Structure formats: C-alpha cells, structure tokens
Amino acid sequence: MNSYYSEYKNKLVSADEAVKVVKSGDGVAYSHFAMAPQLLDKALAKRKDELVNVTVRSTLMLSEAEVAKVNPKYKHFIYNSAFVGATDRSLDGNRCAYLPSMYSDEPKIIREGLAFRSNVVFLMTAPMDKHGFFNFGLSSSYERALCDRADSIVVAVNRNVPVCLGGEQENVHISEVTHVVDLEGEPMPVFDQSVLGTDVEKNIASYIVEEMEDRCTLQLGIGGLVASIGKMIVDSGLKDLGIHTEMMSDAFMHMYEKGVVTGEYKNIDKNKIAYTFAMGSKKLYEFLDNNPACAIYPVDITNDPQRISMNDKQIAVNNALMVDLYGQVCSEAINFRQISGTGGQVDFTYGAWLSKGGKSFLCLSSTRKLKNGEVISRIVPHMPVGAIVTDPRTIPMFIVTEYGKVNIRGKSVWDRTEQLISIAHPDFRDALIKDAEKQKIWVKSNKINNV
C-alpha cells in the first residue's frame, strides 16, 4: 500500500507538465464521453506553438475540444472523433474529422493500429484505490485497449468520478501509469435526458412498448425518445426486465428503482445492468458508484452481436434520420454533413435479430422541416447524394414513425415499399407511390393511403 502511494507521489505532476510528454507527430487519445480529460486538453492546446502534426482522437466530448479550436488548418493538431455530437458539430471549418467504425470494433482497431497509434493516452479516472488501481469511471469502451498500446499513460484523478464496477478491463494500475495529475473535485459534466420527448416521440414510444414482454432485455439509444419509453415502461406493468446496453442512462436507473428491472431472467450477466458507458444526471453517477447491480464492460463485449443474442427477447431501440423504400437506413450523415455516427446501432440491430424472440426498432419522425421552412419526408424513394447508409437493407427489423411500425425483415422490395409508404406522412404517400413506379418497384395494391 505504502509503495503504491510512494509511486503515486513520484509520478504526480501538474497538467502543464504532464502534456510535455507529447511530441510533434504523436498520436494522442482521450478518454471519452463524460470522462473526457478537459484540463489536459486545455493544457495540450496551450502548446500549439511548440507542436505540429499531432493527431488527437476522442468520442463525443461534452465540450468543444480545445485542440480543435486552436488551428482550423490542421497545422498543429488534427482532431478526430469516433462519434460526432453537438460540440463536434459546432467546430466550424472542418475542424473535426470523423472516424467511421462499428462501435464493437474499436478495441480491435486500436490494438491492431489500423487507424493511428496513440503514443500517449490522457484519461480522467477515479482516485487510486488501496490496490493501486485507477477506475476508468463512466466510460470503459476501449480505454484498456488504449493503455495496452500506449508508450505514456497520463491519468487525471477526479474525486467526483464514480467507481464503476466491472465486468472486466475497467481500470489501469499505477505501475503502468507514467504521469498523475490531481484534479481534486472537478465537477462531472452532466447530460440532461429528463425531458420527455415530443408528441411524435411519445407516439413512436407507444408503438415500441406495446411490442415488449415481461423478461425482455433492453438496449435504448439517446434522446427524448428514451425518456418517453422509460416512463411508459414504468407505467405499463411490465416486470422482470433486463438491461444489456451500450449507454447507461437515467431511464434505466428509474426503471431499476421502480422495481421494473431485475435481470433475473437474463442468460448472461444475470441480475446485472451491463453497459459500456454512461451519460446522464449527477444522480445517475451517484447510482453507479460502487454499485454491484451494474457491470461496465469494454465495447467489444457489450456490443458483440453474438453476445447480445445470448439474452432472450433482446430489444434494441435506436434513432434514424432517413429510410428509403429499399429499407436502407441513414442514421448519421445527410447533405455531406456528419451529424452523429454509426455507433452501436448495427451491432444491436443485428444482435437483437439473433436473439431468441428479439426485436430491433429504428425510429424516426415521418417529416423534417428545413431551414427555409419547407417540410420534407424522412421516408424517401432512394438515398440522396450526401446521405450515408448506416444500416444496409438486409439488417433492419421494425421501422417506426408516429404513423405506425412495420417489420421489413425478409420482405421483398415491393412488400417493404408498401409497408414503408404506409407509415410515411399522408401528405407524401402519393408521391412516394409514383416514385416507386418510376424506380420499377411494383406496388401491389392501392391500400396504402387507406392505412
């Protein structure tokens, strides 16, 4: 014990001193989501005049990356994000490069050096425990993989980081760490998901909840839809639900506290809430701290479709931006603009399909309003130029709008065309029928407008 603290003190430095380990041409990786090491990011950005061609990667930081703001021409820092969020989109001038990948593949990509090698890793962690370990806290997706490949590991210790029990691969030992920075009690960034969704999202949520059964296992995505689904589940009378998800959110915490979630009938991680990262309220972070009811895993475990399928009745709920008549789903980029990322959508959509009694849902409002006020359909004849296909047409099961849900899995092109037009906004159904005819898709009946 004393030797661990002696080693800790020997490695304790300021943030400005710690970032001096970075050299021109290095790759630097940050821990991600709510665990992004903001102080180290700021300290590194201050070294802009000393460094060139430093590649930085993170995932959905909850504040703008300082290294991305110092130089839009990529002279000093090249900032990459594996999932684009609002703070990444706010970096104008193409100062955030997107890293496309399946979320479940990230640890393998890192360990095999397929993108770029991260010579240096910056992690925010919980304080060192009596055994010399630093817990990764709210994000454990690929932190261990980063540590396994790095030459230098810098941990920024924050007393407000909850200790999230594994699982596996949820910590790094003082013997591996090269520098320690004490953040004392820096506030943890929160992510508000308490506001219930719009009326459209509530309608979508109702179609999904009516497909759920007792003892099913849940994965829910992000946004107002999740809050609506969570409340409906609590009020529905469903019982003995399990959780196997990538994102742990307040909705799951509320379901657990109401006794709806027990995990009693899961086939793996029995009685455990399994997840790979968490974002939410301060209360959620307090709930997760040293809670043996929860188990955090690296993402190649939580998001492995085969492992997902080991729990019966796996439910996967995720958002989409656009669906075409062939069943292709765009969930991340339109008009050549990256809006989010692939994330674990394909992992869970396919994993739920493999699960005995499993169901996946890709959800979207039937229309969207452009900046000029024009309303357009989100169900489109074909993917327009500048839209990226996230889910190929062979993957989806249920597509859901506020006008209903349809299961397109295994259906012919004309059958799924009829199904998808039936849940499009009524104002666009006639045009979609004409488009289908132009595309030589045989629409078998005229029942669509009568749905």
Other CB atoms within a 10 A radius of the CB of residue 32 amount to 27
Q: In Å, how far are 108, 151, 302 from 148, measured between CA atoms?
A: 11, 9, 19
Q: Determine the Cα–Cα distance for residues 245 and 354; give it in Å rounded to an integer.
A: 15
From the candidates 64, 170, 201, 246, give the one annotated as an active-site residue.
246
Q: φ and ψ at 39, to 5 degrees?
A: -65, -40
Q: Determine the Cα–Cα distance for residues 432 and 359; give it in Å rounded to an integer.
A: 27
Q: Determine the Cα–Cα distance for residues 31 and 153; give it in Å rounded to an integer.
A: 11
Q: Determine the Cα–Cα distance for residues 86 and 339; give it in Å rounded to an integer.
A: 8
Give every CB contact of residue 75 below 8 A, 6+ residues apart in sequence: 52, 53
Q: In Å, how far are 18, 44, 70 from 47, measured between CA atoms?
A: 12, 5, 10
Q: Determine the Cα–Cα distance for residues 416 and 312; give it in Å rounded to an integer.
A: 26
Other CB atoms within a 10 A radius of the CB of residue 13 amount to 17
| Known active-site residue 213 | no
Other CB atoms within a 10 A radius of the CB of residue 195 amount to 10
- Here the tokens at position 402 are 């506020």
**Positions marked catalytic:** 246
